[in-house]
Amino acid sequence: MEVARPRAPRLPLGFWPKALLGFGGAAAVAQFLPRSGSHSAVVPPAGTLLLCAALIGLLTTSALWAVLRLDLRLPASVAVYAVLFNLLVVAVKFGLAPHGLYEVNRRVEFDSGFEAGGIGFQLAAAGVFVLYATALWLVYRIARGRLEGGPATGRAPLPSRRWGVAGLVLVVLTAITGGGIAIVLPLLFFGAGVSYLSYVFSSGVALLIALALGLATTLAGLAFRDAQRQAAALGDASVLVGFFWVALAFLALYHVLWVVYVLTLTATWPLRTVTAK
C-alpha cells in the first residue's frame, strides 16, 4: 500500500480546548498547592513535590489521552505509551529535578539569575526544551524513515528491544559521565540551561532522573512505532505527523508550566543565591 504524503502539519481541532483544560488545572496546582500548608522547612517537603507532580501528571495526561483517542483516533497502545512517557517527564520536571535543585543549593549558592523572579529559570526552560524537542524529533524521524522506506505491513519494522537498548545507552552515558554531559553538550550555548542541568545532575537523585529519562525515551519510541504501524495500515503519513506535533506541543506546555511552578517554589522557599561581582 502506498503511503500518502501528509497534509500541512497542524494540531487537531480539539487539541486546544482539551490542552487548556488540562494545563489550566495543572497551572492552578503549580501556583497554589505549594503555597498551602506549613512553610517551616527551608526546602519544599518531598511530599509536596510528589503530590504536585502526581496531580499535574494526572491532569495533563488525561488531556493527552483524550486528544490521542478522540481527535487523532490513534490505537490505545499509542495513547498508553504516550501517557506513560509523559508521566515520566512530569515526574522528572516537577518532582525529582526540583528536589535535586534544592538539595544542591544547600551546599552551593546559585547565580542570582535563579532567585525568585530571576530570568535564569526562563532561559533554562528554553534551553532544556530544545534538548527534549531534539530527542523527540530524532525518535520521530526514525519512525518516519521506516514508514517511507519500508513496506506497509503489520509487522514492526523496528523491534521494541532496539528502543530498550537506546534508552539503556542514554542511561549509561549519563551515569558514566558523572553529571549528564551527554545531555548537557547540545546546550553548551545556553548558559542558564547548562547551569540548571549541572545543578540537577550533581544531586543525589541524578541516577533516578537518568533512569526516568532513559525509560521515557524507550516508551516514546514504542509510541511512535505503534503510530507508524497505524499510519502504514491506513496509508496516511498524517497520522504519524499529527502524533509528533501533539507530543511536541505537550512538551512545550510542560516547560511553560515548569516556569510557573519553579517560580512559585522559589518565592515560597527562596534559594541561596550570590551576585557575581
Strand partners, 275: none
Report d(CA 171, CA 127) in Å as an integer: 20
Q: Return the pLDDT at 115.
A: 73
Does the structure show a pLDDT above 50 at 255? yes
**Pairing of the two strands 110-111 and 273-274:** parallel
Q: Return the pLDDT at 169.
A: 54
Q: Return the pLDDT at 114.
A: 83
What are the tens digits of pLDDT across the range 112-147?
778 766 688 998 999 899 999 999 999 999 999 988
Per-residue pLDDT band for 39 (boundaries 50, 70, 90) equals: confident
Does the structure show a pLDDT above 50 at 97? yes
Mean pLDDT over 237-265 rounds to 96
Report d(CA 53, CA 34) in Å as an integer: 11
Out of 97-111, 181-195, 223-237, least confident range: 181-195
Q: Return the pLDDT at 186.
A: 47
What are the tens digits of pLDDT across the range 15-32?
999 999 999 999 999 999
pTM value? 0.84
Mean pLDDT over 171-194 rounds to 54
Residue pointed to by grid coordinates 488525561:
62
93 closest CA partner among 82, 101, 105: 101
Mean pLDDT over 195-219 rounds to 95
Q: Return the pLDDT at 156.
A: 41
- Asked if 96 and 213 touch (Cβ cutoff 8 Å), the reply is no
Out of 7-16, 72-81, 201-210, 234-243, least confident range: 7-16
Alpha-carbon separation of residue 186 from 182, 193, 209, 229 (angstroms): 8, 10, 18, 31
Q: Of residues 241 and 149, which shows the higher confidence score?
A: 241
Per-residue pLDDT band for 89 (boundaries 50, 70, 90) equals: very high
What are the tens digits of pLDDT across the range 53-68?
999 999 999 999 999 9
Q: Return the pLDDT at 202.
A: 95
What's the grid cell of residue 4? 500518502
HSE of 185, CA atoms in CB hemisphere, 13 A: 5
Average pLDDT, the chain: 85
What are the tens digits of pLDDT across the range 150-172?
544 444 444 455 555 555 555 55
